[in-house]
Chains A and B, each alone.
Chain A
């Protein structure tokens, strides 16, 4: 999935931060977790531009640590700045999520109806 639209970028940023907030993870773990949550069509690599962007903005930070399977991995943590950002995105998202999905569902129905007519 090419994340060209700003909206999807923002949403994915928030998802990554939310996973990292729960527990520091490294790249591969993060992509597995996102897929398990049910965000399907995200190719594994999609997370890396996101991780870079979040690091650049100071929302997350990487640190080398030994992983459960042995070798050292770069684990990502949420910074204080990231926590603030995540809270803000979450509250904004929750405000618009329900009305938007209702609206979009309705327009989808309209489209189907107009096609059948």
Chain B
């Protein structure tokens, strides 16, 4: 999942800050529970859980990031 974010085009990378959480750590588990996630892998944007258990295609991911950037949400 992290890889799919890392390989996003540069213009998208410039719009986002990426933080990867490791579920092996207590900090990662705490964040996982805060987001009310249920399964792995998961992607949250702006503190909101967006994708669970599935790795979105690059196009879909870019579209969601652009949409959020434009609406400022």
The yes or no verdict on A and B being binding partners is no
B residues contacting A by CB (< 8 A) are none
Residues of A with Cβ closer than 8 Å to B? none
